[in-house]
Chain A
Amino acid sequence: MNITLKVWRQAGPKDAGKFETYQHDGIVEEMSFLEMLDVFNEKLLEAGTEPIAFEHDCREGICGSCGCMVNGRAHGPKDGATLCQVHMRSYKDGDTITLEPFRAKAFPILKDLVVDRSAFDSIIQAGGYISVRTGAAQDANMRPVEKAIADEAFDAATCIGCGACVASCPNGSASLFTSAKIAHLNMLPQGEPEKYKRATAMVTAMDDAMFGACSNHEECEATCPKGIGVEYISQMNKNLIWGELFEHDS
């Protein structure tokens, strides 16, 4: 299979960057998307040119490292999958694939397809933990949690922090990420006592990191590799509104 690759090349954070077009042949459909890039990078190295920088780690869809815009869609064409879970069988001979880094002011480009997602860490640092004393480890099921709530909290907790929600959002908003990180703690007994404080702290950190404002296009939900839904955004808003209006101390 022969593919035309149109890749965003940017030497460093200060560089202007531009698209470069390459021909890549000898691709087999069993290759994963990232393997295809690995093989291409070998060719670039052999030719003495700089390989394409892209982030990756586990390559099984659970670490959240990989991802870029593939033909304008975060993580490529497959629903519910990270870029590393896409295989070249999704493409056919002669296709053109455009690769561009996630774009947001809060995600500065470091090199080629690699962006700095530390802004997500600042949101977690603001409240993505519990600080109440829970004592020593208890027996399992000592504190019953309703199955439906446990499931919902778990769904939120599947967020791998890849940044696809921000990349897909017309406003560059991190609402889906932040809301998932708030929800999985706020819904469970350990996180519940601090839920209003947490919502305010994490939303403030999100705003301070210069992410945009949600306008409910729901593009994030459509491209989230973990299928996290916008209902968590609504829940985050409810926690924030209630907390700011009625539960604010001082």
Chain B
Amino acid sequence: MNPIARLYKSTIGKKVIMAVTGLIMVFWLLSHLGGNTLMFLGQEWMDAYAHKIHNLGPLLWVMRLGMLGVIVAHIWSAIAVTRISWAAREHSYKGGRKTNVSTWSARLMRIGGIIIVLFIFWHLADLTLGWVHPDFKMQEEGGAAAYHNLTVSLRQIPVAIFYMVSVIFVGLHFSHGIQSGFQTLGLNHPKWNGIRKMTSWGLGTLIAVGNIAIVAATMFKLIGGE
């Protein structure tokens, strides 16, 4: 049997898939944030960046399909372990179970995950496909689409708020997920545990605050002017 399939049979194996795919997404999202901070430098920078990505050709599709695979594997494993865990506590505590050390970010993983999935659908329909965008320009048509699409979309207050709430959940997902992923992969050492947890919180804060800054600056017309 294929070693990955053999590993996947156990609950721990499912967690390993979740951890590895999660950490891939962390790197991907950090570079996504890095690219999007070009919004602060103005239209030329942003559109040049968007253009570069579009000109990757087949490599772009390798990245897109790769990410799709990673996301599907992450969600698939998450659903599998959640079902196992719900079955394991088939009768809940009638008198309640006290929480002693579990963090909010840990407890919001499942609900946050669902919100993030819904957000990804919206985000792709909004800024990749243009289905829900009021004035969408395809990247191929003119050289200047990304900056325009982003500013028009984020000037809609409800959309901007949805983006900001969603990235808060991404941040919370990061702050439990990263340190939890390393623990699942066997990377727990008393000397590094403090750093592991700090990095997790730090990157969670970074991804939330960084993205909110872009959305808020666009919403309040600091990006793109009047």
Contact = CB atoms under 8 A, between A and B. Distances in A.
B31 interface: no
A69 interface: yes
Contacts of A171: 81, 84-85, 88-89
Contacts of B91: 103
A215 B12 CA distance: 10
A216 B106 contact: yes
A215 B88 contact: no
Interface string B1-31: 0011011001111111000000000000000
A225 interface: no
Interface stretch (A40-48, A128-136, A190-198, A236-244): A236-244
A6 B101 contact: no
Interface stretch (A26-34, A55-63, A83-91, A202-210): A202-210
Given A72-B98, A173-B85, A231 B10 contact: no
Interface in B192-215: 193
Contacts of B121: none
A172 B12 contact: no
Give the interface size bracket for A toward B: 35 or more
Interface stretch (B51-59, B132-140, B181-189, B216-224): B181-189
Given A211-B88, A216-B184, A170 B3 contact: no
Interface string B109-125: 10000000000000000
Q: Chain A interface mostly helix, strand, loop or mixed?
A: mixed
B158 interface: no
Interface in A56-86: 69, 71-73
A239 B12 CA distance: 11
Contact of B15 (A69, A213, A235, A246): A213
A112 interface: no
A100 B95 contact: yes
B93 A100 contact: yes
B168 to A, nearest CB: 20
A135 B44 CA distance: 77
Contact of A237 (B3, B12, B101, B176): B12
A237 B186 contact: yes
Nearest to A79: B100
B106 A100 contact: no
A228 interface: no
Interface string B82-109: 0011111111111111111111001101
Contact of B101 (A98, A213, A218): A218
A124 interface: no
A93 B185 CA distance: 48
Contacts of A69: 93, 95, 97
A172 B102 contact: no
A217 to B, nearest CB: 4
A141 B85 CA distance: 44
Given A103-B89, A105-B87, A215 B109 contact: yes
Most B CB within 10 A of own CB, among A206, A218, A241:
A241
A196 to B, nearest CB: 12
B175 interface: no
A170 B102 CA distance: 9
A163 to B, nearest CB: 13
B113 to A, nearest CB: 12
B151 interface: no
A207 B102 contact: no
A186 interface: no
A213 B11 contact: yes
A22 interface: no
A199 B215 CA distance: 48
Contacts of A222: 100-101
Given A171-B85, A237-B16, A248-B3, A6 B100 contact: no
Interface of B: 3-4, 6-7, 10-16, 81, 84-103, 106-107, 109, 176, 179-180, 183-190, 193
Which 5 A/B pairs are nearest by Cβ-Cβ distance?
Answer: A238-B186, A212-B88, A234-B188, A172-B88, A171-B85
Given A210-B87, A244-B7, 7 more contacts: A8-B95, A73-B100, A170-B97, A216-B176, A223-B100, A245-B3, A248-B3
19 contacts: A19-B94, A19-B95, A69-B93, A103-B91, A168-B97, A170-B89, A173-B88, A203-B10, A203-B11, A212-B85, A214-B184, A216-B184, A219-B100, A231-B193, A233-B188, A234-B185, A237-B12, A237-B15, A240-B10
